[in-house]
Structure 1
Amino acid sequence: MKVALFIPCFVDLIYPQVGVSVVRVLRRLGVDPAYPEGQTCCGQPAFNSGFLGEARNVARHFVDVFERDEWDYIVTPSGSCAAMVSHYYPVLFKDHPGTREPAERIAGKVREFSDFLVNVLEAESAGGRLEGNAVFHTGCHQRRELGVLHEPRKLLSHVEGLELLEWRNEELCCGFGGTFSVKMPDVSSAMADEKIRALEESGADTLISCDSSCLMHLEGRLKKTGHEDVRVYHLAQVLDSGEGRDG
């Protein structure tokens, strides 16, 4: 099985340790992913802001990079970026015959990390050891566009020492929304604070998600609202935890 690693901007520039954990977990499960050189942003920020031409230029480069080799799967630790490529590349290039077919091929190969582990590798457990009580936040793209809801929880249920709690309004957006948080910061912060109140009510000491962008937003609000003691992890870091590592 030939697997390529698609590393989103937030992981590349802010949370590189998440990418390291993804590789460790995949290798432990028998997959040695390759990292195609030259990959950049998938184009989602421009696309979500209505700059379709600019998004198409970035997406075309993405397609060119991943078309240089034959991959069975392209795995990314982001439901948001996975949804952008798998759902919206066919839309971006539907009237561009020269790129439409390769874009559709790439779109069909992209899988979010937990989806790949559970539904492709059929992993019952991916390991991990982390003491604590956690809540899991499902990002909007992962929930509403990919429909990947149970896979992360299945993997977390096998993490030694971790109790996964239910929390109020789990399905609500965290308020990040990419450029939404820049254009409407007050609304964005209020939405994050609602999630934090629910986390506090749950009694959890750990917040986990499959999207580093959501985690960045929520972690920032946690620190600003006096909740510095809450641990914040990407799913890959939790599965990679143990043996002296916290991801």
Structure 2
Amino acid sequence: MKIGFFVPCYIDAIHPQAAISTYGLLKKLGLDVEFIERGSCCGLPELDMGYIKHSCSLEKGIVSLISDKGYDYVVVPSGICTDQFRDHFTEVEQTPEVAHFRATVHDPVEFLHDILKITELPGHPQFPYRVALHNGCHSLRYLNEARPTELMIKPFDKCADLLKLVDGLEVGYATRRDE
């Protein structure tokens, strides 16, 4: 399995350690991970402001970075950008390369939980503390990584499932956990 690892602009600028840690975890899991050297914007800021055509030009640049690389999956350490690529990448021609990218792009939680179905973490990490977990709107309502409270369905939380693989870690939530 060949994985492309794509770091969007705001993660690179604001939270680079999140990308570095995710990349390191994928490598520790023994995966063939290729860091896509040239990052780009997913187009979400432009789309949100109504600049659909400009967001399209940004989207087109991403396809050239990943086409012909033979990636089985592309992991993007951002749920918002993953949603943008998968569900809003509609203004560009839907070539086979675009269709493949949209079908195989995942954020780390989805990839680890749904694709790899990991049951243990390398090195059996320990963190004997209680942590607060907040699932973002995109991860709840677009990526379906946890149950939004407005839906009357059986509760689930993929991120919490993964955090439970860390020995000693206890997950806690705010009272109004998805607001």
The answer to whether structure 1 residue 123 and structure 2 residue 140 are counterparts is no
Which residue in 1 is equivalent to 2:143? 146
Which residue in 2 is equivalent to 1:48? 48
| Distance across 2 between alignment mates of 1:69 and 1:32 | 12
The answer to whether structure 1 residue 87 and structure 2 residue 87 are counterparts is yes
* Runs of at least 5 residues in structure 1 that lack an aligned partner in the other structure: 94-98, 173-247
Report the 3-state secondary structure (helix = DSSP H, G, I; strand = E; otherwise coil) of the residue aligned with 1:62. helix
CA contact (8 A) 1:124 1:154 kept: no
How far does the alpha carbon of each residue in 1:85-135 deviate from its partner, in whole angstroms, 9 at most, with x for none? 01111x223xxxxx3123222111101101101111110132432232111
* Runs of at least 5 residues in structure 2 that lack an aligned partner in the other structure: 147-156
Q: Which residue identity does 1:140 align to in structure 2?
A: C
RMSD between superposed Cα atoms in Å: 1.4
The answer to whether structure 1 residue 76 and structure 2 residue 76 are counterparts is yes
| Distance across 2 between alignment mates of 1:85 and 1:122 | 23
Which residue in 2 is equivalent to 1:215? none
| Distance across 2 between alignment mates of 1:155 and 1:107 | 24
**How many angstroms does 1:37 deviate by?**
2.8
| Distance across 2 between alignment mates of 1:39 and 1:12 | 8
Which residue in 2 is equivalent to 1:27? 27
TM-score (norm 1): 0.64
Which residue in 1 is equivalent to 2:168? 161
Q: Which residue identity does 2:53 align to in structure 1?
A: G
How far does the alpha carbon of each residue in 1:118-166 deviate from its partner, in whole angstroms, 9 at most, with x for none? 1111101324322321111111111101101222110111212211113
Q: Which residue identity does 2:116 align to in structure 1?
A: L
Q: Which residue identity does 2:91 align to in structure 1?
A: L
Q: Which residue identity does 1:92 align to in structure 2?
A: E
The partner residue of 2:94 within 93, 97, 100 is 100
Which residue in 2 is equivalent to 1:137? 134
Report the 3-state secondary structure (helix = DSSP H, G, I; strand = E; otherwise coil) of the residue aligned with 2:130. strand
TM-score (norm 2): 0.86
The partner residue of 2:106 within 105, 111, 118 is 111
In terms of Rg, which structure is larger?
A: 1
| Distance across 2 between alignment mates of 1:63 and 1:160 | 39
| Distance across 1 between alignment mates of 2:94 and 2:42 | 16
Q: How many matched pairs?
A: 166
Q: Which residue identity does 2:18 align to in structure 1?
A: V
CA contact (8 A) 1:23 1:32 kept: no
Distance 1:44 1:65, change over 3 A: same
| Distance across 2 between alignment mates of 1:106 and 1:114 | 18
| Distance across 1 between alignment mates of 2:60 and 2:107 | 20
